[in-house]
Structure 1
Amino acid sequence: MILHDFLPSGNGYKIRLLLTLLGKPFDLVEYDITKGETRTPEFISRINANGKIPALELGDGHILTESNAILIHLAEGTPYLPADVWQRTEVMQWLFFEQYDHEPTIAVLRAWVAIKGMPEHADILVPMKQAGAKKALEFMEKRLSDHDWLVADGLSIADISLYAYTHVAEEGHIDLSVYPGIMAWMDRISALPGYIPITMKP
């Protein structure tokens, strides 16, 4: 397998973390999205017509895109995607929440502060994103204040997906110390056998 990725990306990190936890070897091909390296004609024509990472190139030539869709594919038949229909649906709920409510606020703030620089009209946009991030984290905290994991009694791709940008949220000037349930959950994930940090290459 070949993972086309940008190392600081939380969306790419989701895939790297799951592959590592599963013990599946893969090659990493890096692109610098800040320099438009995923917008080249070659990348768009061969890797992802949407011009984004991550993209996972399988041995049979298929290329998967969209981070949470890749997680679902890789987790099929493993403990990270429950067989129980209701629990699978709960996992999906969290994955949709991550892409609709969580990533557009927390990941965007981190990107502005730590990677890409502040956008035009930051004085208006940043408070809006901060309010959205607070709402998303409060929703997670409600669950994690009295549960170890987001779904059922074990780690799933719901946790992996939401961990990716949550654990680096402070790079976007978001204070996580006010969310003790989230802090304990992050500690549980980082203590897993086979855990890798976001900056580690395979």
Structure 2
Amino acid sequence: MLTLYGMPDSGNCYKPRLLLAKLGRPFRHVAVNSITGETRTATYLARNPNGKVPLLEFEDGRFLAESNAMLLHLAEGTRFLPADSHERALVYQWLFFEQYSHEPFIAVRRAILKYPERASQATPDRMQQLFEGGTKALEVMESQLAKTPFIAGDALSVADIALFAYTQDAGFAGYPMDRFPHVEAWLERVRADEGHVSLEWLP
């Protein structure tokens, strides 16, 4: 059985859990808290020298880090990854967008507001920078979702799963979601897709 190491309330850790739930693939979840230092123990670093979660362990003992790499691997041969090369490239495009233009702002602002340990980072300049970067990412998504029902086209893909993880909490992070009606409608379409589970779900 697959083993997934992760923080239950982390959006990045939620991504592979959500896809595995949709695929109906059984897995074991092992809670690992990066905030309290559990990812920096010698045992964990032997599994992932980068000292981060999530981490996926396969039945044969091999490991795979990075949430979006897990999505691509697990989605092979399923409806969540297009067979057409250009359509696949569009999915990759949005996965890179999520990691470089979305997650560094929306996820970080969410974390500063969610975890007391990070409260010292909530300086006015830092929070404004995160707000502006996240707003730009949401504007890009809004423009795309005005044209297509899902982020990479007509069908839900791992690009939607990746972007859903933290966009669903953008309101909590202080972004005015009423300015992004197409994003809000897309969030509901993702939730309505078969096999959806919430961030709180664990196997």
TM-score by length of 1: 0.96
Q: Deviations over 1:110-147 (max 9, x none)?
A: 00001243234712111011000000000000011232
2:93 corresponds to: 93
Residues 63-74 of structure 1 mapped to structure 2, 5 A cutoff: 63-74=63-74
Q: 1:155 to 1:121 in 2, by over 3 A?
A: closer
**Contact residue 112 and residue 121 of structure 2 kept, 8 A:** no
Question: What is the DSSP-based 3-state SS (H/G/I as helix, E as strand, rest coil) of the residue aligned with 1:56?
Answer: strand
Please identify runs of 4+ aligned residues in structure 1 that moved more than 2 A. Answer: 116-121
Letter in 2 for 1:135: K
- Paired with 1:174 and 1:10, the residues of 2 have a C-alpha distance of 17
- Paired with 1:194 and 1:171, the residues of 2 have a C-alpha distance of 24
Residues 18-33 of structure 1 mapped to structure 2, 5 A cutoff: 18-33=19-34
- Paired with 1:159 and 1:106, the residues of 2 have a C-alpha distance of 16
C-alpha root-mean-square deviation of aligned residues, in Å?
1.1
1:14 corresponds to: 15
Q: Does 1:123 align with 2:130?
A: no
**Contact residue 4 and residue 27 of structure 2 kept, 8 A:** yes
1:5 corresponds to: 6
- Paired with 1:35 and 1:72, the residues of 2 have a C-alpha distance of 29
Letter in 2 for 1:75: A
Question: What is the DSSP-based 3-state SS (H/G/I as helix, E as strand, rest coil) of the residue aligned with 1:168?
Answer: coil
**Contact residue 145 and residue 180 of structure 1 kept, 8 A:** no
**Contact residue 148 and residue 185 of structure 1 kept, 8 A:** yes
Question: What is the DSSP-based 3-state SS (H/G/I as helix, E as strand, rest coil) of the residue aligned with 2:119?
Answer: coil
- Paired with 2:123 and 2:32, the residues of 1 have a C-alpha distance of 27
Shift of 1:178: 1.4
Question: What is the DSSP-based 3-state SS (H/G/I as helix, E as strand, rest coil) of the residue aligned with 2:38?
Answer: coil
Letter in 2 for 1:3: L
The alignment of Structure 1 onto Structure 2 pairs a total of residues equal to 201
Which has the larger displacement, 162-171 or 102-111? 162-171
Residues 1-202 of structure 1 mapped to structure 2, 5 A cutoff: 1-45=2-46, 47-115=47-115, 116-120=117-121, 122-202=123-203
**Contact residue 5 and residue 31 of structure 2 kept, 8 A:** yes
Shift of 1:175: 2.0
Letter in 2 for 1:7: P
- Paired with 1:103 and 1:94, the residues of 2 have a C-alpha distance of 12
Q: Which runs of 5+ in 1 are unaligned?
A: none
- Paired with 1:55 and 1:179, the residues of 2 have a C-alpha distance of 33
Identity over aligned residues, as a percent?
44
- Paired with 1:71 and 1:175, the residues of 2 have a C-alpha distance of 29
Shift of 1:191: 1.3
